[in-house]
Amino acid sequence: MKLTSIIATAAMAFVAGHALAAGNHAGGHGESDAIGKPGKAANVKRTVTVDMLDTMRFTPDNIIVKQGETIKFIVKNSGKIKHEMVLGTEKELKEHYEAMKKNPEMEHADDNQVTVLPSKSGEIIWQFTKAGKVNFACLQPGHYDAGMKGAVVVGGMSKTADFFSLSANAQSINPIAMTTGEVKKIDKDAGKITLKHEDIKNLDMPGMTMVFQVTDKSMLDKVQVGDKVKFIADKQQGKFLVTDIQPANGAK
Ligand SMILES: [Cu+2]
């Protein structure tokens, strides 16, 4: 059995919601173990918003997570046609995509995927238990072929060269490590934080004070101006992002 739990098309309006129906995978049947397992809402440490566009792209399309981390993906459809985000191995995704081409009307409701109608959003809560790479794709007919895919790199070590090619000075693949810094300014509305930071090794960036976009505004509730923090910085599409932040002393 591959990506199962195919449901009938009846509840079209319902697909924008998350995959409520698929409680059957909790604990896994084996097939999903390679990519992790459905996450529990109580264990969510971080929310990542993924935008789906009619240009057949995910933004971001390269996401870095820690091994064991439970991520809540807010999956937005900014396009005018239906899209979906499905997590899987490349093999699973390809097989599923072929099945979708033969049965374009089918809807699925596994925990590892969400189908989203135009202008709507849905969510996936997923725990990444194995180091390595988990692929994701839109399996709507034609979309995968058009390049609508991405990857989650699990384990703090990027295995995808294209991620590091974004960093002009990247000469080697550096492990993603927490960087120490101090909060200088928080702009909650804009989702921005200004950090005076030490060397950011994974971006090959010397210490300085910089403005970062946070991947989730709620991260800004955890810290205040003047706090010493540890954070993970990333660079995607030329923008500097903070994907995780926490008080440096743990206490708070
Ligand atoms: Cu799509």
User: What's the gap in Å between 81 CA and the centre of ligand 1?
Assistant: 8
pLDDT in tens, 180-224: 899 989 999 889 998 888 888 777 676 777 888 888 888 898 899
3-state secondary structure of 99: helix
User: What's the gap in Å between 251 CA and the centre of ligand 1?
Assistant: 43
User: What DSSP assignment string belongs to 5-68?
Assistant: -EE-GGGGGGTTS--TT-GGGTT--STTGGG-EEPPGGG--EEEEEEEETTTEEES-EEEE-TT
Question: For position 206, what pLDDT does the model report?
Answer: 67
pLDDT at 19 over 80: no
Question: For position 26, what pLDDT does the model report?
Answer: 36
Q: How far apart are CA 9 and CA 16, in angstroms?
A: 13
User: What's the gap in Å between 37 CA and the centre of ligand 1?
Assistant: 23
Eight-state DSSP code of residue 39: P
pLDDT at 15 over 80: no
Which is it for strands 239-247 and 208-214: parallel, antiparallel or unpaired? parallel
3-state secondary structure of 23: helix
Question: For position 171, what pLDDT does the model report?
Answer: 37
Domains and CATH numbers, the chain: 6-156 (2.60.40.420), 179-247 (2.40.50.320)
User: What's the gap in Å between 139 CA and the centre of ligand 1?
Assistant: 7
In SS3 terms, 165-202 reads as HCCCCCCCCCCCCCEEEEEEEEECCCCEEEEEECCEHH
pLDDT at 144 over 90: yes
Question: For position 140, what pLDDT does the model report?
Answer: 93
Contact 237, 218 (CB under 8 A): no
Ligand 1 (ion): which residues have CB within 5 A?
83, 138, 140, 143, 148
What count of other Cβ atoms lies within 10 Å of the Cβ of residue 135? 18
User: How many residues are present in the chain?
Assistant: 252
Question: For position 22, what pLDDT does the model report?
Answer: 37
pLDDT at 1 over 60: no
Q: Which amino acid is at 229?
A: V
3-state secondary structure of 243: strand
